[in-house]
């Protein structure tokens, strides 16, 4: 199960009813934050989401509208008594970009660690105990005016457990959960491997956060089949495609097209230019490509659950 | 005439309905901002106040809840096409404190100037053309845990113009406004000085913004007779006076007492701890000392006008 809350939907500058684009992802009681512009901490409070124990903040790039909320959020975490380390990740240039931010927030009662994600992604429980073993955060390159990346959070799902097999192999009930979590168990008459009692792995869940980007093949590839794609859609009108390309952004139509190409299940549009008064006006442009497209709004929330077994 | 808008009333961290404490002062179409925590730009939009052409931001100290909104506000000013210089002022340590903030906001299309106010205060029109000649911003020392200062903005008022005298001295109507603005005029039969046609100077207007401070004599002195005092009141209960003293803050009672001692005309309380759910609950504590005390709230606004002539 993954719980995703869109904290903001604005581009460039925060508006009273549209905070800067960011999203919180909760899984098994743990929290990950995508981007952190000025006001993200307030937007989270408004949405009823606590970021105080977030394990990792994944930055898509280092423009101010995606990062200027960090010093304040970190100070608030500190004033709330946080002592657990906080990991910040982002594209190339992380250390330089974070230097002034860490200077501003100096004196925190918890360590801040800067981490570049490995190419194969980060298995969350290797750094943060308590995340499900099959939860993984992966970055993929995007196409903005500066080094940038989007994120794919995936939660894998093991195959179906076969209790008859387990019983036949003499595995006591108390050890079933060990096998279910993917680990072998040792019995007097030899070891039992998870594969012996589990069916083939089942489809998991996948959530993609694009950050700022023009349409690009790496996004389509990373988002393929995602349960939820939160996609930037800075410009409403199709005739703004040139401007969008110039600044490394997308139109509503292009976001719809990207979702269609990637065959995602759900599309939330976000990162609206402040010139867009009501994003719903332009929603049909995205829906022409992806009929299920939704306009994101601050506080929009979804719980993604595993599909029922076939 | 001075127009003052309280943009926020929170201490330490921004809440959905209580932005961090800051105030905008408008006079003759020009703008001054006191403090700039995370979210001040959004609070201003919410209050219908444009900060885009603010001439000066006066910081009371460099804690994050009073400064972390600067990078975002300056970037927004830049993206709105500002090219006019922006002045930042504050207590000792201004250059060091602003260094990481200016690094974050680098690439602005306007210059940012750091300025320590002279002891006698800044006559606003010497730096910012268009401010009334008798508008002055003065800093006074306050008592917080770090170097800190409060601000007093005063708008002086010349004496009453005597048209009979001006006519008798042969001053043409077109030159009356020059004399009224405090400048001499040259006539064929000699110069006429403003004093010759103006009565004794009249009471002006005064607005005081305390920033974070424990009660102190310099505040009482600076605020004496102010038309409006925006005073920190971090703690509601009298039995929190020790905590207040420890952190360099005030209780509601102490803020009321400070206003009474300074014989101000109006008191707005601000900078409420996030533990205070409804500041009105504690208002009687301040009113016991200063009956006219009001709880500040985001967007609270007043237009201060010169008192009618006696």
Taking contacts as CB-CB distances below 8 angstroms, the residues of chain B near A82 are none
pLDDT above 90 (res A182):
no
Given a cut of 70, the residues of chain B with pLDDT beneath it are: 310
pLDDT of res. A148: 98
Note the pLDDT tens digit of each residue in A231-242. Answer: 999 999 999 999
Taking contacts as CB-CB distances below 8 angstroms, the residues of chain A near B42 are 14-16, 19, 38-39
DSSP A255: H
Q: Inspect the interface and report whether the beta carbons of B39 and A38 lie closer than 8 Å.
A: yes
pLDDT over 70, % of chain A: 100
Instruction: Give the minimum alpha-carbon distance from B151 to chain A in angstroms, rounded to a whole number.
Output: 24
Q: Residue A37's closest chain B neighbor by CA?
A: B72
d(CA A201, CA A152): 19
Let me know how many helices (H) and strands (E) chain A has, helices first: 11, 16
How many whole angstroms from its chain centre is CA B258? Answer: 17
Radius of gyration of the CA atoms of chain B, in A:
21
Model confidence band, residue A309 (pLDDT cutoffs 50, 70, 90): confident
In this structure, what are the phi and psi dihedrals at residue B65, rounded to the nearest 5 degrees? -70, 0
The SS3 assignment for A185 reads strand
Q: To the nearest whole number, what is the mean pLDDT of chain A?
A: 96
Instruction: Give the minimum alpha-carbon distance from B113 to chain A in angstroms, rounded to a whole number.
Output: 19
pLDDT above 90 (res A310):
no
pLDDT of res. A42: 98
What's the angle, vertex CA A78, arms to CA A72 and CA A83, rounded to 5? 140
pLDDT above 90 (res A48):
yes
Output the 3-class SS for B110-149: CCEEEECCCCCCEEHHHHCCCCCCCEEEEEEECCCCCCCE
Model confidence band, residue A140 (pLDDT cutoffs 50, 70, 90): very high
d(CA B94, CA A207): 44
| DSSP-derived secondary structure for B251-276 | BHHHHHHHHHHHT-S-EEEE-B-TT-
pLDDT of res. A272: 98
Nearest to A42 among B39, B100, B103 (CB): B39
pLDDT of res. A233: 98
Mutate to test the interface with B, among A20, A39, A78 (most CBs of B within 10 A): A39
Catalytic residue among A35, A55, A65, A227: A65
Mutate to test the interface with A, among B22, B39, B59 (most CBs of A within 10 A): B39
Instruction: Give the minimum alpha-carbon distance from A123 to chain B in angstroms, rounded to a whole number.
Output: 32
Q: Inspect the interface and report whether the beta carbons of A104 and B64 lie closer than 8 Å.
A: yes
Residue A302 pairs in a beta bridge with A4
Instruction: Give the minimum alpha-carbon distance from A232 to chain B in angstroms, rounded to a whole number.
Output: 19
pLDDT of res. A133: 87
pLDDT of res. A201: 86
Task: For chains A and B, count residue pairs whose Cβ atoms are closer than 8 Å.
Answer: 91
Taking contacts as CB-CB distances below 8 angstroms, the residues of chain A near B71 are 38, 64, 68
Taking contacts as CB-CB distances below 8 angstroms, the residues of chain A near B69 are 38
Residues of B forming the active site: 65
Expressed in angstroms, the distance from the first to the final Cα of chain A is 18
DSSP B2: E
d(CA B200, CA B161): 10
Model confidence band, residue A307 (pLDDT cutoffs 50, 70, 90): confident
Task: State how far the alpha carbon of B23 is from the alpha carbons of A96, A254, B5, B58, B92, in Å.
Answer: 33, 42, 6, 10, 21
Residue A250's closest CA among A266, A224, A268, A271? A271
d(CA B230, CA A269): 42
Mean pLDDT to the nearest integer, A53-82: 98
Beta strands in A9-134 (DSSP E): 22-27, 30-34, 56-58, 86-89, 112-115, 122-123
Mutate to test the interface with B, among A100, A101, A103, A247 (most CBs of B within 10 A): A100
Q: ipTM exceeding 0.85?
A: yes
Cα torsion at B22, B25, B31, B36 (round to 10°)?
A: -10
Phi-psi map region of A187: left, alpha, beta (phi>0 left; psi -120 to 50 alpha): beta
Taking contacts as CB-CB distances below 8 angstroms, the residues of chain A near B39 are 14, 38-39, 42
pLDDT of res. B223: 98
d(CA B217, CA B10): 25
pLDDT above 80 (res A298):
yes
Q: Inspect the interface and report whether the beta carbons of A38 and B41 lie closer than 8 Å.
A: yes
Tracing tokens 């904290």 back to the chain, one arrives at A7
Q: Inspect the interface and report whether the beta carbons of B72 and A79 lie closer than 8 Å.
A: no
d(CA A254, CA A235): 10
Q: Inspect the interface and report whether the beta carbons of A64 and B72 lie closer than 8 Å.
A: yes
Assigned token pair, A275: 């010139």
d(CA B11, CA B270): 8
Taking contacts as CB-CB distances below 8 angstroms, the residues of chain A near B104 are 64, 68, 100-101, 104
Task: State how far the alpha carbon of A307 is from the alpha carbons of A1, A8, A157, A173, A204, in Å.
Answer: 10, 28, 10, 26, 8
Domains contained in chain B, CATH given: 2-158+201-304 (3.60.15.10), 159-200 (no CATH)
Nearest to B64 among A19, A46, A72 (CB): A72
d(CA B159, CA A156): 80
A205 touches A199 (CB < 8 A) = no
Assigned token pair, B234: 């971090």
Assigned token pair, A162: 């076969």
pLDDT of res. B309: 78
DSSP A273: -
């Amino acid at each position: 199960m993954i719980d995703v809350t869109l904290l903001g939907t604005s581009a460039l500058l925060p508006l009273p009813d549209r905070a800067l684009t960011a999203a919180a992802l909760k899984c098994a009681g743990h929290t990950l934050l995508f981007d952190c512009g000025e006001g993200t901490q307030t937007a989270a409070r408004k949405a009823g989401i606590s970021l105080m124990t977030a394990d990792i903040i994944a930055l898509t790039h280092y423009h101010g509208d995606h990062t200027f909320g960090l010093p304040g959020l970190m100070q608030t975490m500190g004033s709330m008594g946080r002592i657990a380390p906080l990991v910040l990740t982002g594209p190339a240039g992380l250390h330089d970009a974070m230097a002034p931010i860490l200077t501003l927030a100096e004196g925190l009662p918890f360590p801040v660690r800067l981490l570049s994600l490995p190419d194969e992604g980060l298995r969350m429980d290797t750094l943060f105990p308590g995340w499900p073993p099959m939860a993984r955060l992966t970055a993929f390159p995007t196409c903005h005016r500066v080094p940038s990346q989007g994120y794919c959070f995936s939660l894998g799902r093991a195959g179906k457990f076969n209790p008859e097999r387990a019983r036949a192999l003499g595995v006591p009930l108390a050890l079933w959960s060990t096998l279910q979590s993917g680990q072998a168990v040792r019995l007097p008459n030899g070891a039992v491997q998870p594969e012996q009692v589990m069916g083939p792995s089942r489809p998991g869940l996948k959530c993609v956060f694009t950050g700022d980007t023009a349409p690009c093949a790496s996004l389509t590839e990373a988002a393929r089949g995602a349960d939820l794609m939160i996609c930037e859609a800075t410009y409403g009108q199709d005739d703004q495609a040139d401007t969008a390309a110039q600044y490394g952004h997308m139109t509503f139509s292009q976001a719809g097209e990207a979702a269609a190409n990637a065959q995602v299940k759900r599309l939330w549009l976000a990162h609206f230019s402040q010139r867009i008064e009501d994003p719903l006006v332009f929603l049909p442009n995205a829906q022409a490509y992806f009929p299920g497209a939704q306009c994101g709004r601050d506080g929009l929330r979804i719980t993604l659950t595993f599909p029922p077994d076939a």
